Structure 1
């Protein structure tokens, strides 16, 4: 384990809220840019492309795991929380990345995967050696039932039982994901202290915040009670994975979790750092609210509610309204981070059937996302209108994709390398001519490479570069209130209310999320003065006459409310 050689001496803006309303750009390091030509993206490659990220107008970059790892789950199985895997570079490379990002006025958030470790982690190697060593209770161990079967019915997200027999201890250990990802025992205060110490290590190196992986998996029911089945009326399980048939009240979503999150928040507040927690659950709203309540736990949370196949205006509106209504209750508060794409979900262009009108689709979906109250996560390559890569079985490397093929093809299709140059070998992702990238560069992505987008003034990349700085100039969009207006599907209509009139106008926003032109009437739409959204093509500009709106396919209307 490598120790931090220095303490970050920058002034810590304790209590600042730069994260509130911020746009975070997710980088999946393996697929972003390969500097050394070995077929895998790395930290030096990210450094070379940071100016591209900054040029998009985002506020921060979130970097998925780059820690030392056996890579059975591609970095989400951590072997050493304080070192960079040689595949990605060195700690010195990370320090250079921080320095360069800050010079570009970019915040840096990193993935912290602490619900579990790799089975090669030194902690687990010691824990499994015996039942009475100093770290014997650092992981979740349990005896077999009298017939030798696992302690209960808990299931792994990646398939099968979440219990694995270990012949050394003659006990089962818990793994919510791969068998090679044993779960830490957060009921042990020494474990919590070690996790906080590892977080501090990266704070001392200058990171500005953390994306906390699987935050609702930290604690388990100490009585090891079996889960009940989900009630039939909310059973939305896909056929490929029985995990979704259970009500996960004992193996995750435990009430003890919030106390640990308060410890995390106390540490982060020392540095003015921020956090966004991933909440993976069929019904995540209550957990999202609990984890951000009262400004004393996580700063933000996000769920998979906008990563589903449902792209209806009603569904998207419902997610925001339910969160906002609950957050307004006394003692609640809370701040959401909305996302329509990440490394675990099918590419949004494919998932929401935007094929056929990729440029206008990306513009309206980006506009929708940054018009909501909350912060935003944007996944690398979505600004290029990349579709899900269709990979054959023999090209897959993702464990659940291999396990559940063909009904579920896994996550490889959204993780293929970014195309930087259409005509270059490996589309400019890697200079290693004789080394194949870790996932194929698909030919269908080449016409949407960065250099092609740069040369096309109508590419959605340019709209993003124009929209995000413009949005930042309106406090109503960054931190203001929100209320929706009733509108026919597939139209979303909302008002973003300025915190104070002197800080700028409140805004009316009307969006046609569909591919057909529409003529609608919104009787309760407040009077507004049309605004010129920079970078928006005329063919996508909506028009207003009184209460009547003419909305072209994927049409966008912004209006400043009259005083």
Structure 2
């Protein structure tokens, strides 16, 4: 029997920004539960909740202070149970962000660990002595700027942090840490959770010898002021010990029915593809993995083809998850705007393209509305890197602003209080209520395209074979048994005409025209062509 997650559409909910029912300006579990029919009506199969655990919220929940408690901002364990029950009633699976590589510095484990070098938790975090000159033990960088080490006078040692100084890294070389991490996962599985999105899944272990990283051959910087990309980060992450831990996690999840784990591989290029292959190999590691390959500015036929073919070749036994947007990157309609005829065209084009990809598909809340990146002012920011490095770094607040439900309600129906991030007019213009009754809206386009994908075996689980066409054209066949579709996309603003050799018919939602043997794709054009398996497509 085919597992549910293999052709699922997973809808990411950013709890702070989905729906606030308490009126404090921050989204909550009760609000999510009330709005779940929107997700079910869209045709999604699963929701992914960004962190809901107890946290000081220095990094919006990715700094956990209690793995077994819901943060009061979001509600209670009872609210969580009610959300799970309602989601299951609607046929939705639920996974949550599990942040295991690091904790908050307010976690009781770290508070005890930093007190001395010989307490029960002394070795639960990555501690190291200064070098003879007092400098950090390695040259490793933090993603959020500066060294990945913070000196703690209580112990007279440095502790490692890949992110904020308030996010110390756990020491997974300690078996007790591994045991504790597994115990936190079991806690949520026992409450009916359907799986985990594993944050920074390749960061669990560090190099035990504490070797410094070499310089990168090239220096692709993630952010304008970020030095992280100037190193070849081979010792601070991607350690071989990760595999054994993933096998332990899989042994745990296999004790429950229909559980899925998807790992976020925080790396770039061929290394990310290689890790995705390793981490999903066989049946005793992750169920699937994804990287940031399609979450950047690259927008070309060669790029998307390289991502998919790279995974096919580098991870033949693995299973991919593809997304164009999430809570860490600018929304793709804005990010790829220079290639768009207009925002509406890009929103539809991106939907049609990603729903044709082989694997599991991810949608970030608001994407189904054609939502744009919000322009932020400095005094509106909450994201630490943006506050520190403004204006060179715009940060992640622009993609995290609240969902817009009713255009004529305060804060577009998100909250009766002052929202934690602003709700602005360009976003309100895309509200759910304005699109629900309009069959030509982007929301309806998403619903129809997801339904078409689900009703079409070739798109749900068919194999992929690319068609050789020049830029800016991306085309491939998807085949399942006797059903074959050709999926054709024009990644430019200009019209392109293609010649078909063989019989084909347009199917699904499209904006192309087929006149005899000529397929015309407008700017940001897309088409699904049903055929008998012999169709060839050439440029005129």
Q: What are the Cα deviations for residues 9-40 of structure 1, in whole angstroms up to 9, with x where unaligned?
A: xxxxxx86111021100000001110111000
Partner in structure 2 of residue 511 of structure 1: 489
TM-score in terms of structure 1 length: 0.91
Partner in structure 2 of residue 490 of structure 1: 472
Partner in structure 2 of residue 286 of structure 1: 274
Contact preservation (8 Å) 1:542, 1:556: no
Query: Which stretch has the larger CA shift, 438-447 or 357-366?
Result: 357-366
Partner in structure 2 of residue 469 of structure 1: 451
User: 1:491: Cα distance to partner?
Assistant: 1.7
SS of residue in 1 equivalent to 2:429: helix
SS of residue in 1 equivalent to 2:373: coil
Asked if 1:420 is matched to 2:402, the reply is: no
Q: 1:514 to 1:221 in 2, by over 3 A?
A: same
Partner in structure 1 of residue 536 of structure 2: none
User: 1:541: Cα distance to partner?
Assistant: 3.1
Q: What are the Cα deviations for residues 229-265 of structure 1, in whole angstroms up to 9, with x where unaligned?
A: 1013x64565421111010000001111111111111
Which of the residues 135, 155, 167 maps onto 1:181? Answer: 167
Query: Which stretch has the larger CA shift, 551-560 or 416-425?
Result: 551-560
Asked if 1:456 is matched to 2:438, the reply is: yes
SS of residue in 2 equivalent to 1:287: helix
Q: What are the Cα deviations for residues 190-244 of structure 1, in whole angstroms up to 9, with x where unaligned?
A: 1111111110111111111110000011000011000001013x64565421111
Distance 1:244 1:108 in 2: 34
Partner in structure 2 of residue 402 of structure 1: 387
User: 1:327: Cα distance to partner?
Assistant: 2.3
Q: What are the Cα deviations for residues 77-130 of structure 1, in whole angstroms up to 9, with x where unaligned?
A: 001111100000000000000000000000101100000000111111111111
Distance 1:107 1:239 in 2: 38
Distance 2:448 2:175 in 1: 48
Contact preservation (8 Å) 1:508, 1:528: no
Q: What are the Cα deviations for residues 516-548 of structure 1, in whole angstroms up to 9, with x where unaligned?
A: 22112366xxx4531431xx36xx1342633x3
Partner in structure 2 of residue 438 of structure 1: 420
Asked if 1:211 is matched to 2:197, the reply is: yes
SS of residue in 2 equivalent to 1:295: coil
Asked if 1:114 is matched to 2:100, the reply is: yes
User: 1:356: Cα distance to partner?
Assistant: 5.4
TM alignment of 1:144-293, pairs within 5 A = 144-232=130-218, 235=220, 238-271=223-256, 272-283=258-269, 284-293=272-281
TM-score in terms of structure 2 length: 0.95
Asked if 1:53 is matched to 2:39, the reply is: yes
Which of the residues 493, 500, 507 maps onto 1:532? Answer: 507
SS of residue in 2 equivalent to 1:377: strand
Distance 2:440 2:503 in 1: 27
Q: 1:470 to 1:146 in 2, by over 3 A?
A: same
Distance 2:467 2:50 in 1: 37
Distance 2:108 2:223 in 1: 37
TM alignment of 1:78-157, pairs within 5 A = 78-157=64-143
Gap regions ≥5 residues in structure 2: 534-540
Contact preservation (8 Å) 2:195, 2:260: yes
Contact preservation (8 Å) 2:330, 2:399: yes
Contact preservation (8 Å) 1:262, 1:297: yes
Distance 1:259 1:368 in 2: 36
Gap regions ≥5 residues in structure 1: 1-14
SS of residue in 2 equivalent to 1:76: coil
Distance 1:31 1:301 in 2: 25
Distance 1:173 1:299 in 2: 32
